[in-house]
Every structure is written in structure tokens, then in C-alpha cells.
Structure 1
Amino acid sequence: MLAALLLAILGLAVSSVMAVKQHDFKLCHQSGFCSRQRAVAELVEKFPTLGPNYKFIESSLKLGKAGVEFKIVEQSHIGGSVQPGGDELLVTLDILKAAGTVRVRADPVVAKDQKPRYKSDEFVLTSVPEKSNLKVASANDKDVHYEWTHDSAKYAFVVEKSPFTIRFYVNGDEAISMNDHDLFFYENQIVKEEPAPAPPADQNAAAEDKKVDERSDDEKEFDRLKEAVRKDQWAEQFGSHHDSKPHGPTSIGLDISFPGSKHVYGIPEHATSFALKPTRGEISGEPYRLYNFDVFEYELNSPMALYGSIPFMLSHKKGQTVGVFWQNPSEMWIDVEHKSADSTTSHWMVESGSFDIFVFLGPHAAAVLDSYTSLTGRAAMPQSFAIAYHQCRWNYLDEADVQGVDGNFEKHDIPYDVLWLDIEHTDGKRYFTWDNAKFPNPANMQSDLAVKGRKMVTIIDPHIKKDDNYHVSSEAKSAGIFVKNKDGSDYEGWCWPGSSNWIDYTNAAARSFWSKKFLYNQYEGSTPTLYTWNDMNEPSVFNGPEITMPKDLVHHDNVEHRDVHNIYGMLQHRSTYEGHLLRSIDNDRPFILSRAFFAGSQRYGAIWTGDNFARWDHLEASVPMLLSIGIAGQSFSGADVGGFFGDPEPELMVRWFQTAAFQPFYRGHAHIDTKRREPWIYGEPFTGHIRSAIRTRYQLLPYIYTLFRESTVSGTPVMRPLWYAFPDDEATFAVDDEFMLGSAFLIKPVVQKDTAETEVLLPAGSNWYDYETLVKVDPSASGKLNVKTPLDKLPVFLRGGSIVPRRDRIRRSSALTIKDPYTLVIALDEKGEALGEFYNDDGRSFDYKKGDYVYAQLEFRDNTLRCTSPVAKYTDVSAKISKPKFTGHDSRVERLIIVGVHSKPKRVVSSSGANLEFTFAREGGVVVVKEPQGVFGKEWHVAFEF
């Protein structure tokens, strides 16, 4: 959105600009701490004879049942000028109860005049991590060794004393090492040295004439790098913006290596490949940057920072998945390098805050994500409408426009659940208000949608128009809850409303203030079917450095903005979430979409990939971007269907709708300057193809809703990389042009114009069925299959061994399907077996936490389909379980479709012994059973006799 204002000022059309303005954003050499940390890396590489950077202090070692603590001291050959008493670090390694998890911290032995390091536990972690105490520990003059087991996996860590290194092992195999390349460099606060006065001009000139530099080239290079390590320690300039850096240099660097692993993933958000590309070594470039930004029309295949930051990295190799999470919301740069053919090293460079790293030893991806989300929080269970189709635009003009769009969905028989309003619906960009001329009856407008089972979403951003006559502005100013300048005055910047202030969400009083604004008597015109969109919350500041807040602004408790930048958007997301809970008295699950995010944002709702472009390559990029976000714990994510900027051609629009139908968050959105592009705009055959894609989404909502419930208890992503399902198939490790929806579906998006045929990789070890025809397909020995892709065909394959619940009646909205029966699609594997699950609840409240839901386990084995209902699986054991009130509305199964049957059954028999009506199609071996007399929530079976 930023681009529109800037371009309007310049009198340019949005469509005339085709790329991000790179000069608005720093490169590593323009960032003081990034260039300093990279200089450390160069020093270590070029001068290895310097010896280890840190020394283990033997007398400080303390062994405990839950881990170990000790001190290390800097050798001073790199940093120098260390403040007395501030060069020692206390290192602790705690083994946690979360499976295979170790917390590694390093804290300075702080001198009295040093400012404490900022710690973000209260915002990022859901509770104080519990330590475990079932360890075997030993120590000698060379190392400290701990080992333990969990669920048959054997874990260990070894602290090597000289050179100081920490190694982690899984089942005897080294999985992660820290400081293996001696890049640990911790900038303690130093005494600012005033430069010596310059000699008189004539003496200076004479001295220069006599000076002869007799140093060797190595000595010159060493001095150059030593000087680079001290660059921009106390102040920094970028363009016209000055960062005063009142506390001096406080950065931390560390190398984290993954022996035997060629592939690392995660650290979203970047518009690049899923498997992270090297940034150092044979290929040298910019590090991956984590710093939440409003980036107009972002570049693809770039490591530059975008809207969200999650400092969580996964490494996967055959037989093992591990991860690391650096809990720190300040700016980060991360280099990736293959120092050997089969290993990956990452160099993490952090501007400020604490050294607090969680190591997750798996040994498989599900275990890593389970442990990670047990610490940062499980994903919020969405309301059922939230996973259906959303229609958005900047902006629907007025109530008549809303009515017309809604009516056209009816006219063209296309289902949708949510209609969105962007910033133009407000009174002069004053949030929590309406433009009374365009939207004079907002409650009635929402009610008209609600009778059809539909909802509305309005945008509410964190910048508050500076206006004493605007109640949110005047009340927040009086409460003193805006972000401050260094002198204590309210920070003022420029955003959509013009001159604006920003709520300080790090302040509990500010979060409480914000949440109360969602009460119905505060947000006039809002109703229970109105939900919220938090945009521009990186935060975006049009006249700020890098289009965001200055780092030396001050938050609650005298915390600098540099320390909390990456959690600012998450805290607005949280405050809005709490506001929705407040307005419903904790009865309704909130739906909140946020653009900025951090680790833990999954607790508050959905995010999206920001202002993408209506281009084929942006459709292609959406897949690796969403995969990266998903495996970092944020399951509920999506990309704007059609692209935000520009006017998509009809073919691109169809392909985007087809692909996004299988992604977690499904929303069409467009810029204010684009042509209208609702699904019916393009005419036939395009409207028909879009209608078909959306209907496919609605058909699969029961399956997708079940996946979301799984994600809320285990951290398992809804949209998954192929290797998540096939962890030992090395052919899948770098694949990011295909993805899995749950474990049952493999999707290969069509991302190029006029694609008549595409090649699909179908991993070995499974039967695969074309989902449209239900015919078994036979890929080549390499797993490749060529698929015809006319415009009405997206390659979607059903994995053998899967049971998929769906609803085949298509209604105007998902709410109108609640009494419809279900169909089960049963795709048999090579053994003639299949597994699946079904979950449903009231789709709205938190009663499911009390056991008020319907759950079924489905299994086809020995020619019999069995349905069982172990209710306790998804129940919070700490909750008092009453007799469930929810019965699934109508959980009746009306049809079974069994795929991959070798011959026609002689008969099909229900639990009651009745013969059931069925048909058999020899092509594909498909048996269709009508009315199998099954109801979810009860135990039943259907037997097939051959």
C-alpha cells in the first residue's frame, strides 16, 4: 500500500513501477553490526592462527541434573576495548521436557553501569519452559557430556572446552554444532573513546611526508579487518536518517552448522526458494535479513527482509530433522554456506538483545514442530468460515457496491464466506469509524450478509491519525501509550491518515486500551459477524528510516525500538485478538489477519505474504514462501489470489484460484488502481474454471478443517513440503514447485502461461491416483509423470493409503452446509489399506476444548472400513469434560468411494448386517457405496466381500 501514496505524490501510476526501490533498504555493508560481524568472519577465516576467540573458564563449571553452566571469556584479539568486568559470559545449557529440546543461553556478567539485555520471553514463550532431570552427565579436562533418551531416541550434547564448541547428537549422529568455526562474537557494552585531537595542520602534513608504511600485506589486512570490527559502533547514518545508538555496540554473532545436511529451510519471510540458497562461499551475496518491512512489490529470489520474521531454521537429511530457534526480536542477518559438499553452516548476526537459542533434536520433523510450538504456542483453531473463500479489494466503494458484489456471487452460483473492506471505508483513515456517506448503515450491511451465513472484515491499522477530535487519538495521548521519542515526547510519523502516532503494544496498558476499542459500544456499527485485518503493522512509517520506525525510539520500560521491532506487529495482532475475546466474553474464536508476524503469531490467527504482483512468477513464488512460513509454525497463511498489484490476465487468474484452493488461507485481493477482477468479470470459460476451483475448496472443507485441528495440537503444518511426507526420499528435499495438503493430496501448480503439459514428481512408496478421474497413475522409475494440463486441469493427486472426508453438496457459504451429509474417499495403498481422520465442532466457540466435538478415526483394512471415536484425542485433559452438546448437526455418511479395488465385490455389508447398494467401475477399480449407515461420533463398519 505504501507505493500508492508515494507514487501519487510523484504523479505516477502504480502500474508503471515494476520493482522494489532497493535504495530504500540497507544492504549488509550499510548495516554497522552486519558489516562488523562479517568482518569477524573474515578475520577468523584469513587468520586462523589467532587461536580461539573465547576461552572456557574451568573453575566456573557447574553440573546439574537439568544441564550445565560455565563461564567463557573473550580473548580480545578481535574485539578489543572491552569494558572491565563485562567481557565474561555465563553460558547455560538446560535440557527441557519438550522432547529433544535444549535451551542455550549466554548472558554477560553485567557491570553495574551496563544496560540489561532485552529478553522477550513474556511475549514469545507461552510459559517458562520446564526442565527435565533424567540425565547422565560427565566431565573431564577436554569436554562436558550429557546424554538422555525420549521415546526411543537417544540425545546428547558435548561442550568442548578448547576450542569452545557445543555439539549435539541424535542417535549417535552429530546433528548440530555451535561455534565450530569460531564465529561466536558477543559485543559487550564498551567505554566510548573520544578521538584524540588532531595535530596542527603543518605538523600533520610533515608527519605524513615522513610516514612510511612498512607493514606486510597480511598486517595491513589484519588491521583493516580489526578496524571494520569497530565500524559504526556508536552512531549510524542511512540516507537522511541518524541512529544515535545511545548504548553503543550490542550485537551477537554465532555460527550454527548442520553436519551431513545439504538442505536448510525456514527463517521466513523471504521471496526465495524453500531450500535456502548459499549466501557465502562459491556463491557470495547478501545474507538473509529478518527485519519486518513494508516492501512495495517485493523482488523474487532475494534474501531481503519482508513483512514477517521468524528466526527458526530447520535442517533435514535422510533419517533426521533438527531445528534451531533464536528467541530474539531484534534485527538479524543470516549467512548460509556449504563449507563441505554434504554439510551446511549458517552464520547468525543479531543487532541487540539476548543470546537465547532453543535447539530441537527431532529426530523427525513432526517432533521438531511439536516441541517448537509447545514453547511458542499452538496455532489458534479458526472458525469454520475462516478457511473458506474470502473476497477483498482496496476498496469496495459503498454499501451498494457491497450489495452488488454479494449479489453477483449469488447470480453466478459461486460460494464465498467473507467480504472485506479496506481503508477507504473509514472516516478519513480514522480506524474504528465508518464513512457515513458511503456506509451509513454498517450494522444492517453486516446483517444482510449474515443471513446468508457470511461475515465481513474491516481493516484496522496501528497508526493513529493525530487529531484531538478523534477519540482514539485523544484518549491514547492522554493515557500516554504512544511510542516515544528519546526526549519522552510522542513519536510522530507519516502514514495513511497523514501525521500519525503509534500505539506502544509492548505496554500492557496500551494492549488493554486497544482491546477495549473492539467492544460494540466503542466500535460503533460493529456486530458479532465483523472481524479484523491488521495491516501496515511492521510498523510501516512512510517517512521513517527504511520505511519504518527509527531504532532509537523508546517503548515501555525504557526499551529501545531496536530491541522489539520484530514483535511489534505480533503484539498488535495479539491485542486485536484479545479485543475480540473481550467483546464476545470469550465465547467466539477471533478471526484476525496480520501482515507482520514473529514466532508465536500462530496463537492469534492468520497472516499473508503481503503486496505481491499479478505475475506468473509471483504465483510460482507463493508456494516456497508459504512452505517456509508453515514449517516455522505459522500454518494459517496465504498469498493474495491474482496478485495485489497489476491486472492479471484471465489464464493467470484461473491458475491462481486453482492453486490457492489447496493452500491454508484463500483470499482474492487487489490494489485500488487495478481493474475489477471478481470471479465473474472474465466471462466464460474462465468464470466456470474459477467457480470449479472455489467449489473444490468448499467440497474439501471437512478435510481441511480436520488438518487445522491437527495443527493446533501438534504444530504440524496444513500445507507441507514433499519431504515431510517422504523424509527418506532425497529427490524431494529441494522440491518447492509441488506441495502436500495434509498427507493425502499432492499438488503441482501450473505457473507458466499456455502450459499444455507439465512434469510431476510422485514420490515412490505410495500408490497415486489422479484426484479428478480417480484412476491410478504409473510414474516412471524416477517418479516422474507427464500430465496434460488444459485450463480446466490442475495436477492434483490422491495418495494411496488416505481417507478423505468431504461434503459434495455446494451451498452459498460454508455455514449453510452444516446439516449436509459426508462422503468418504478411500484411496487404497499397495496393501489394500487406508487411514484417515474426521474432526468437527460447532465451528465458532471454544467448547471443543471441553470435549464438545465429534472425532472419528477411520481405517480400511482386511476389506473392511471401520469408524471409531476415541473422544479424548483432542480434549484438554485439564478441562472438566461434560457430556458433549455438539452432535455434528448431521454427521451422517451418505456415500463411500473406494479407489484402487482389484475386482468387483460380491456384496457390501453394513454393521447391522444389511446388504448395501453399490456400483463398480473397472477402470480405476472404483466402488461407490450409497448410504453405508454410518454416522461420525459412533462406531460402525462396512465389510466388502470378494
Structure 2
Amino acid sequence: MITNTELEHKGDQYPSRIISFEQDVDSIFFYTENNVILKITILRDSLIRFRYTTKGYFSKDFSYAIDKTQSHGYNQLDVIEESTFYMIKTSKVFCKINKNDAKVGIFDIDGFPILEDELGFHWEEYYEHGGNIVKMSKQSKDGESFYGLGDKASHLNLKGRRVENWAMDQYAFHKDQEPLYKVVPFYIGLHHNKSYGVFFDNTFKTFFDFCHERRNVTSFWAEGGEMNYYFFYGPKMSDVVTTYTHLTGKPELPPMWTLGYHQCKWSYYPESKVKEITSKFRELKIPCDGIYLDIDYMDGFRCFTWNKEYFPDPKRMVAELAKDGFKTVVIIDPGIKIDKDYWVYKEALENDYFCKRADGPYMKGKVWPGECNFPDYTNPAVREWWAGLFKELISEIGVKGVWNDMNEPAVMEVPGKTFPPDVRHDYDGNPCSHRKAHNIYGTQMARATYEGVKRFAYPKRPFIITRSAYSGAQRYTSSWTGDNVASWEHLWIANIQMQRMSMSGMGFTGSDIGGFAEQPSGELYARWIQLGVFHPFCRTHSSGDHGEQEPWSFGTEVIDITRKFVELRYQLLPYLYTMFWNYVNDGTPMLKPLVYFDQEDMHTHYRTDEFIFGNQILVCPILEPNAQGRRMYLPKGNWYNYWTNEFVEGKRELWVSTKFDEIPVFVKEGSIIPKYPVQQYVGEMQFDELTLDVYYKLGKEKSTVYEDAQDGYDYNKGRFSLRTFTFNGKEKEIIIQQHKEGTFETSYSKFKINLKGLPFKVKKIEIDNEKVTLEQVQLNGDNFLIIDKDFSELHIIGI
């Protein structure tokens, strides 16, 4: 492994004196005596790209991570030359470039240093493979904290850690293990209440060191490619995260059923076993929308085939499952079995679609089917062919989602667990070795899968899930955190990983509930389901070699707890769907670590357990066995205990007692939380009422509810319903105003309004300035009332 120690700096080279510069619209080029060029491009006032080359010219500019549909623009761009430095000024920051050594410093408008070079850019020739090892080191400020970087299994705050980015199949990984399945080379720095971000868009193996080697230095480097990074300025963390998410792209809205509960195992077969599992969910009345088929549904693990002994008529089975509300999701891996009688293999062979070694033969490796060749998904023609392979699965058989696994890519029985570095890739017309293409291989597979499923699922929306991913993969796919373990440590890890993935632009993620490897106790499974229902993707999955891991495998008490929490998730579907709509439209993370929620509060900088689900619900899982409760931190604001409606002031630590069938959940005061009735699956029933839980606050608060047909694309034509509620609470009255957008008509006609924490007895009610009797709105002792959904203003006056 290449490290970045002081000894190695001896062979490093550095930019020398800048001798000239030129500006081309939004880009400024700085030329040094020793042939280094620094290109600084202003994409927005708070988003700046830095590119360095050591050879006197830049290679073709190409990135899989950047969303090319995103528009850029800035309010101000001035370039000023002083005697010892150049200054580039925007309306948000200014950037100083030293003439002597091309070191860069970025400052806010008031001149406060945000991010400054330490050694700055440096490099060494990589004689073994060719090209450069490119390096960057920055000064770390006092008290600085670091977040982001995808699915890392370590403390949320990365201060003091070194991490490696190389997509790796890590079965039963452990805390702090490096590297893992995903590569998201984006981090967020926070110091002096100012937040910034760095995205190092380099697909080679990369490393980040957050004051691990040297106390006041942060560095990142790559084993090839370009020093090419983006700087984002906040000063709020929310600005950094949303700008990064805009840059790398946002997903389209998923069908609502994908936000339901899913059940999976390696493997459910034959058909009778699948039906036994789905029937049991309906019998026990535990809601469930997705049932997964792992590799054993195939004929000898050949992708796009069925084992006719286990599944004699897949189309009929899938249709029968759909009739009972279950959507079938199947696994597809990249390894294509070498078999001259296998149609997928023959097509790829005839068209020369497989990856090759440097001197010509196809890359060969062992995975589940035995010896396989592997499609080169970095070739657009291969992606197009791969997309077409989904016609039968999606159009004819009726499968609703596809699950891409083993796409790091994983190879068995070889030391590095993957392709050799000399394997060649097309890289969309930029031919390269596997050293460059490895980290994006899984994303390009998921992209090709997405394009196929989307084509054949139309007019419905596609659903893809991937194990391996690089920045930008969220445009095509959801993900899960890979082969975890049934342990309390892994419950802690899952909680961290979801928060980190949300901050890293990849919100639609979950963990294998209960753990993939080994057997959870009933208590661990219950605690995991209590956390998992608050993750965007919610699926139980297990390796199956240790017995059963369905909710009913652990006895009556765990069945009841599972039902209670899965029902809660189904009630909260409109809230969750609205969270997703905010993510898709604004790049807002669906889960927010406390530091994201309130970066000004130093107590939040090292909190790992608590997180905000959406904008208004605070969740704190129980992460230890035999717990009667736990200590937790309530951030700023005032909160209501979800279970007891007890009012609690925030910005303090407190002990929260809980029963086995509860975890600490709090709702922000002033919130209006939408709820559906419990359904056994999405779309099971039409209903006439939407429940709104209204939590009293002295003051104002806004809440939104987004709804549409729950699938399809009519929402792009304005067929959606967006309701914005403004709550205004006074000592003896509340006013709720509703603003409506969109043309979609919901099935319900009424709101059932539950008033929580009301400090007065209701004396009078006005709807749209007309007085109504308390009987008309069915107000009762429980403080709920039923009113027409199309009101504009509800005025409740107390005694």
C-alpha cells in the first residue's frame, strides 16, 4: 500500500514559481516554470474546481460522477494580480494563489481562512505502473471535524483517521475496517462554525488522512490520474451537502412501494418456500411490499435464466405474488458463465463485450457459476446490450426490481478479491486499465441495469439496488451496506453508515436488518428492526446458513415489536415520501446527523447515535442488550416524546426510559406529521382520511406533504399534490394555514387532525373565517377533529 509518510516526501516534486496566467471565461490557468498548470474554474460563487497537470497540457476532461444536466453560474468573478499573489474573488469567497509556489488559500468574504494548502499539490512518478501518484495536503484548523466519505464503518467524525477508497467485497467486515464496498471521495470539514467540502474526483485508489499522520494536516492522494478536486463553501453544512448532491446528481422519485418493508434471504426457493414466506406475512399482518430472489432462482447461477425445477412458471408466480401485494425483486451479478450453450455468453462473445487482459485474452475469474467472463460496463455499447437483456424479466415475467451484487467487482479465490490491474476498459472512449476503472465498475453496471429496467418497466418507475458504488451512483440506484454481521457492534455501524451515506449524497440506503452473517438473538433483531424502519431502504436479509431470520423466527414478543414498528413505517409513508421528494428536488439528505442539524452546538460534533429522520422526527436507537433506556442528546429546540407526548426542552443530555417495544423517538414542536392508515402493502386500500398529528408550539413552524400517484411519471406533468402547512401557535389560540400546489387529487377528502400538547381547552373553531360548531368537526375529549382537506385556514381558539 502506498502511504504518505514524511520519508516519501523526499522523492516528491512541487510546482515552482508561476510565470504567467490567462483567463478563459470562468476558468483561470496558472503556468509554472516546471510545466505545472493549475486550472481554477468557478462553477458557482461557492463551488470552485481545481485541476493540476504536471505535463504541460491537460488530458481529456471526463467524469462519471458529475451530473452534466446541472446548470452552473456565478454572480461575481474578479481576477486581481498583486506583487506576491493572485486573487480570484466571487461573491462568497476569495482564493489566493501564491506566485512563488502556487499554493492556494481560500477565505470567506471577511478574510477568515477556510482551507489553506500546507504542502499543497505535490506528486511523485509511479515507476511501477506509470503516471503520477498525485497528492494534496491542507492545513487543519484548531478544533476541526470531518464527516462524509460514504459507507465507512467508523465513528461519524473522521478526525484522527486514515481511510482508503477501493471498492472491496468485505464479507463480515468489522468496525474501522478499510476499504469497504463504496467509494465516495467527498468529505465535509467544520471549524469555527464554518463548513466546507472537498470532492476528490479521481477513480483510482485514493486515500484520505484526517490529522492521523500529522496533527494539523489533512491530506488526500491517489495512485494515478489527476489532482482534480472541487471545493464547496457553506458556511452551513446543509449548503455543502446540497451543492455536492446537485453536482453529482439526484435520483428520480422511486415508486412508493420501494419505501415499504422488504424481506430477503440467501435464498428463498423453491416457489413453495417463497409462497410460504409471503403467506406468513399476510397471516401475521406484518406489512410487506418486497420479496427477493437470491442467486438460487437461476439455472446454475446463469444471469437472466430461471431454475425450472424450483420455479416452473415464474410469470405465473410473480403475478400471483403481485395479486397479494408483493413485488418481486431478483438478483443479477456481473459474472457471465463461460458456457457455449448459454445465450447471454454467446451474445457477449460474438460482440466482443467482455473485459480483456492487457495482452488480449478475456478476463477470467471464478464467481458463483464457476469460471466467468465479465462485461465491460464502461463501454456504452455494452451498457446498451445489457439494458436490453432485461426485457423478459421486466416486460414479460413482471419482476419489479433488480438487485446488483458482486459488482465491486468481486472475484473468488484470488488474493486481491477482484480483477488484476492490467485488465483493460473502454471508459466511454477513454481507454484505461482496471486501476482507473475498478471503483466505477459497479456504478456503470447499476447504470446499465437502471437503463434497462426503466425502459421495460415504463410507464412505471424502476427500482435498482447495488452493493458497490462511486459518487454519482445515486442517479441510478439505491444501495445497501453489504455483508454485515448479526452483532451489537454492527447495529452501531449500521446507524453510522446510514447517516454518513445520507450526508454523502446517497440517501436511498439501508443495512441488512438483523445482520447478514451469523444469527441474531431475538432482542438484537427487534432493536435492529426498530432502527431499520427509520432508514430510507428497509430490508431484512440474511445468509441463511444459520437458520431462519424472518420476524416470526424469534417468538411472539418479537413478532409484535416487528409489527408495531413496520406498521409505524407504513403510517409514516407520506412523511417518508415527502422526505424523498425534498431529497430529489433540493438535494436535502433524508437522514441528518445532529451536527448537520445544528453545527453551532459543539455537543453535536461527536454525537453518533441520534439522527433527524426527515426534518422533524428525532430517532435514537437502543444499541446495547438488556437496556431499560439510554442517555441521549436532544439538540436545539423543544421536542415531544412520540410515545408519551411529554414536552421536553432541547440542547441537553437526558436519560430516556424505554420498554423493549420502544426506542426514543421525539417530534419537533410545531410539526405537522402526515400519516396513512396501516396497510399490508402500498396501494392495498383507498382511504377517506389523512391523519395529521399536530404538535403545539408557541411560535411558527412549516411542514409539507408531497403526494402523487405513487408510481409513474405524471408528477412531471404537474399531477402531484404539495401541501404546505404553516403552524402559528399563541398562548390561547393556534392558526394553521394551508397552501396547495399541483393538480393531483388525493383519494381522501378529509383530514383527521390530532392536536398534541395543546395548553388550553378549545372554545371556538373557525375554518376559512367561518365559525363551525364543535360537533361539526367531531371534536372530542382526545383533541382530534375532522375537517375538509381543502381548507385554507384553521383557527382554533381556547379558553
Q: With the length of structure 1 as denominator, give the TM-score of the two structures.
A: 0.80
Q: Does 1:798 align with 2:740?
A: no
- Poorly superposed stretches of 4+, deviation over 6 Å: 338-341
Q: Deviations over 1:383-409 (max 9, x none)?
A: 100111000000002111111111101
Give matches, 1:140-539, under 5 Å.
140-149=82-91, 154-178=92-116, 180-187=117-124, 233-235=126-128, 245=129, 248-279=130-161, 287-302=162-177, 304-317=178-191, 319-337=193-211, 345-520=217-392, 523=393, 526-539=396-409
Structure 1 distance, partners of 2:37, 2:7, is: 22
Deviations, residues 630-652 of structure 1 (Å, cap 9, x unaligned): 11100101110000011110000
Which structure 2 segments of 5+ residues have no match? Answer: none
Indicate the residue corresponding to 1:199 in structure 2.
Answer: none
Deviation at 1:817, TM superposition (A): 4.1
Unaligned runs of 5+ in 1: 1-30, 45-49, 75-87, 189-232, 236-244, 280-286, 872-883, 922-926
Matches within 5 A, 1:915-926: 915-916=773-774, 917=777
2:500 is aligned with 1:628? yes
Give yes or no for contact 1:918–1:928 (8 Å, CA) kept in 2: no
Please say if 1:61 is aligned against 2:21. yes
Query: Counterpart of 1:314 in 2: which secondary structure?
Result: strand
Q: Would you say the 8 A contact 2:694–2:755 is kept in 1? A: yes
1:785 aligns with: 654
> Residues 627 and 122 of structure 1: is their aligned pair in 2 closer, same or farther, counting only changes over 3 Å?
closer
Out of 735, 748, 753, the residue aligned to residue 864 of structure 1 is: 735
Q: Which residue of 1 aligns with 2:715?
A: 848
Give the corresponding residue for 1:89.
Answer: 36
Which residue in the other structure is 2:760 paired with? 903
Contact 1:642 1:669 in 2 (8 A): yes
Amino acid at match of 2:740: S
SS of the residue aligned with 1:406?
Answer: helix
Note closer, same or farther for the CA distance 1:234–1:745 as it changes in structure 2 (3 Å cut): same
Separation in 2, partners of 1:258, 1:715? 27
In 2: Cα distance, 1:715 partner to 1:704 partner = 15
Quickly say closer, same or farther: Cα 1:470–1:299, change in 2 above 3 A.
same
Are the counterparts in 2 of residues 391 and 669 from structure 1 also a CA contact under 8 Å?
Answer: yes
The question of whether the paired residues in 1 share the 8 Å contact of 2:333 and 2:405 is answered with yes
Given that residues 186 and 252 in structure 1 are in contact (C-alpha distance below 8 angstroms), is that contact kept between their aligned partners in structure 2?
yes
For residue 647 of structure 1, the aligned residue among 513, 519, 523 is: 519
Report how far residue 758 of structure 1 moved: 0.6
* C-alpha RMSD of matched pairs (Å): 2.3
Which amino acid in 1 is paired with 2:89? E
Instruction: Using the TM superposition, give the Cα deviation of residue 328 of structure 1 relative to its aligned residue in structure 2, in angstroms.
Output: 1.3
Could you tell me which residue of structure 2 aligns to residue 582 of structure 1? 455
Conserved? CA contact 1:118–1:354, under 8 Å: no
| Contact 2:65–2:470 (8 Å) recurs in 1 | no
Taking structure 1 as reference, are residues 173 and 297 closer, same or farther at Cα in structure 2, changes over 3 Å only?
farther
Pick one of 39, 42, 47 that aligns with 1:101: 47
- Which one-letter code corresponds to 1:576 in the other structure? T
Q: 3-state DSSP class of the match of 2:468?
A: coil
Q: Indicate the larger mover: 126-135 or 350-359.
A: 126-135
The alpha-carbon deviation at position 699 of structure 1 amounts to 0.8
Deviation at 1:727, TM superposition (A): 2.4
Classify the secondary structure of the residue corresponding to 2:452. helix
Aligned to 2:682: 814
Could you say which structure has the larger radius of gyration? 1
Following TM superposition, by how much is the alpha carbon of 1:549 offset from its aligned partner in structure 2, in angstroms? Answer: 1.0
Equivalent residues of 1:176, 1:257 under 8 A apart? no
* Distance in 2 between residues matched to 1:119 and 1:485, nearest whole Å: 25
SS at match of 1:864: strand
Using a 3 Å threshold, how does the CA distance of structure 1 residues 340 and 252 change in structure 2: closer, same or farther?
A: closer
Worse-matched range after superposition: 252-261 or 694-703 = 252-261
In 2, the alpha carbon distance for the partners of 1:641 and 1:255 equals: 39
Distance 1:840 1:670 in 2: 33
Q: CA deviation at 1:110?
A: 5.1
CA distance in 2, matches of 1:338, 1:295: 24
**Is the counterpart of residue 565 in structure 1 residue 438 in structure 2?**
yes
**AA matched with 2:675:** R
Q: Which amino acid aligns with 1:422?
A: D
CA shift, 1:260, in A, is 4.6
Q: 1:861 is matched by which residue type in structure 2?
A: N
Post-superposition offset of 1:379: 2.4
CA offsets 1:909-939 (integer angstroms, 9 cap, x no match): 3235322446577xxxxx633212224xx74
Amino acid at match of 2:153: A
Per the TM alignment, residue 125 of structure 1 is displaced from its structure 2 partner at its CA by 3.3
- SS of match in other structure, 2:207: strand
Q: Which amino acid aligns with 2:405?
A: D
* 1:609 counterpart (481, 500, 509): 481
Q: Report the residue type matching 1:185 in the other structure.
A: H
Q: Which residue is equivalent to 1:70?
A: 30
Q: Deviations over 1:679-728 (max 9, x none)?
A: 12222212111111111111111100000000001111111101222221
Report if aligned partners of 1:94, 1:131 keep a CA contact under 8 Å in 2.
no
Distance change (3 Å), C-alpha of 1:900 and 1:300: same
Secondary structure of 1:488's counterpart equals: coil
Contact 1:910 1:942 in 2 (8 A): yes
Q: SS where residue 556 of structure 2 aligns?
A: coil
Would you tell me which structure has more strand in proportion to its own residues?
Answer: 2
Distance in 2 separating the partners of 1:480 and 1:255: 43
Distance in 2 (CA, whole Å) between partners of 1:704 and 1:843 is: 12
Equivalence for 1:739: 611
- SS of the residue 1:794 aligns to: coil
Distance 1:800 1:183 in 2: 47
SS of residue paired to 2:197: strand
Cα distance, 1:262 vs. partner?
A: 1.7
Superposed CA deviations along residues 534-568 of structure 1, whole A, max 9, x for unmatched, are 00000001134410111111011531111111111
User: Following TM superposition, by how much is the alpha carbon of 1:813 offset from its aligned partner in structure 2, in angstroms?
Assistant: 0.5
**What secondary structure, in the 3-state scheme, does the structure 1 residue paired with 2:460 have?**
coil
The answer to whether the Cα contact below 8 Å between 2:184 and 2:470 also exists between their aligned partners in 1 is: yes
Provide the residue aligned with 1:941 in structure 2.
794
* In structure 1, C-alpha distance between the alignment counterparts of 2:181 and 2:518, rounded to whole Å: 20
Please tell me whether residue 661 in structure 1 is matched to residue 533 in structure 2.
yes
Normalized against structure 2, the TM-score is what?
0.94
Deviations 1:196-225 (A, max 9, x none): xxxxxxxxxxxxxxxxxxxxxxxxxxxxxx
Question: How far apart, in 1, do the equivalents of 2:439 and 2:64 lie?
Answer: 14
Deviates most, 130-139 or 734-743: 130-139
Alignment correspondent of 1:770:
641
Instruction: Give the letter for the 2:452 counterpart.
Output: G
Deviations along 1:710-753, one digit per CA (max 9) or x if unpaired, are 00011111111012222211111111111110121111110111
Pair 255,330 (structure 1): closer, same or farther in 2 beyond 3 Å? same
Q: CA deviation at 1:64?
A: 5.2
User: Counterpart of 1:208?
Assistant: none
Distance 1:338 1:186, change over 3 A: closer
Task: Give the stretch that moved more between structures: 904-913 or 726-735.
Answer: 904-913
Cα deviation, residue 662, structure 1: 0.9
Task: Tell me the alpha carbon deviations over residues 297-329 of structure 1, each in whole angstroms, 9 at most, x when there is no partner.
Answer: 112033x11000000001124532210111111
Q: What is the CA distance between 1:267 and its match in structure 2?
A: 1.4
